[in-house]
């Protein structure tokens, strides 16, 4: 259904929804959970995306976890929706509690191997590229950078 909305109008709606969601979380303090995907290609390059809403900084792909959905399943869904590609070797890397937009947030970080060609949806994600871990682009979102640093410290992979 959302595909019937022209991309520029869809991007505007996403930007408004992002702001409203932030204010709602600050007000309600409802606990949330989300998945972040650290996806790399066969050469070890890491996927980063730029969303049509928010800061415009580079970020790791991911999103909210639906009720009853496993983090690995959410990772598959988010990758299909945002960048139009599959992932394999999906492993839960880490989970931890943090605060985002004033709400308690359970963060699930998964690592995965990219499969197929990147095809950003041009609605939620306007750009998707892989980068050498030692030369990540700037600006990069602080949450994404901290997740990459945690991943690097634990695995020895990546840079930052």
pLDDT 10s digits, 42-86: 999 999 999 988 888 999 999 999 999 999 999 999 999 999 999
Residue 142 banded pLDDT, cuts 50, 70, 90: very high
Check pLDDT > 90 for residue 36.
Answer: yes
Q: What is the DSSP string of 58-114?
A: EE--EEEPPTT--HHHHHHHHHHHHH--EEEEEEEEEEEEEEETTEEEEEEEEEEEE
What pLDDT does residue 55 have? Answer: 86
Kind of pairing between the strands at 62-64 and 32-40: antiparallel
CB neighbourhood size of 143 (10 A): 18
Check pLDDT > 60 for residue 31.
Answer: yes
Q: Which of 10-24, 34-48, 55-69, 136-150 has the lowest mean pLDDT?
A: 10-24
Q: What percent of the chain has pLDDT over 70?
A: 82
DSSP classification of residue 45: P
Check pLDDT > 80 for residue 137.
Answer: yes
Q: Is the peptide bond before 122 cis (omega within 30 degrees of 0)?
A: no
34 pairs with which residues across the strands? 64, 107
- All structural domains of the chain, each given as residue ranges with its CATH number in brackets, are 2-155 (3.90.79.10)
Task: Please name the residues in contact with 81: beta carbons below 8 A apart, sequence gap of 6 or more.
Answer: 63, 121, 124
Task: Please name the residues in contact with 123: beta carbons below 8 A apart, sequence gap of 6 or more.
Answer: 2, 7, 10, 11, 14, 52
What pLDDT does residue 139 have? Answer: 96
């Amino acid at each position: 259904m959302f595909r019937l909305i022209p991309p520029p109008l869809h991007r505007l709606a996403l930007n408004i929804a992002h702001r409203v969601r932030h204010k709602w979380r600050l007000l309600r303090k409802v606990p949330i959970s989300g998945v972040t995907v650290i996806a790399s290609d066969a050469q070890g390059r890491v996927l980063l995306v730029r969303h049509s809403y928010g800061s415009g900084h580079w970020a790791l792909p991911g999103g909210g976890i639906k009720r009853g959905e496993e983090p690995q399943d959410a990772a598959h869904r988010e990758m299909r929706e945002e960048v139009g590609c599959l992932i394999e070797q999906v492993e839960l890397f880490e989970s931890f509690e943090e605060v985002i937009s004033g709400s308690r947030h359970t963060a699930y970080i998964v690592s995965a191997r990219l499969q197929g060609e990147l095809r950003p949806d041009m609605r939620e994600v306007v750009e998707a590229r892989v980068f050498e871990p030692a030369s990540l682009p700037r600006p990069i979102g602080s949450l994404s950078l901290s997740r990459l640093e945690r991943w690097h410290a634990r695995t020895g992979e990546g840079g930052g």
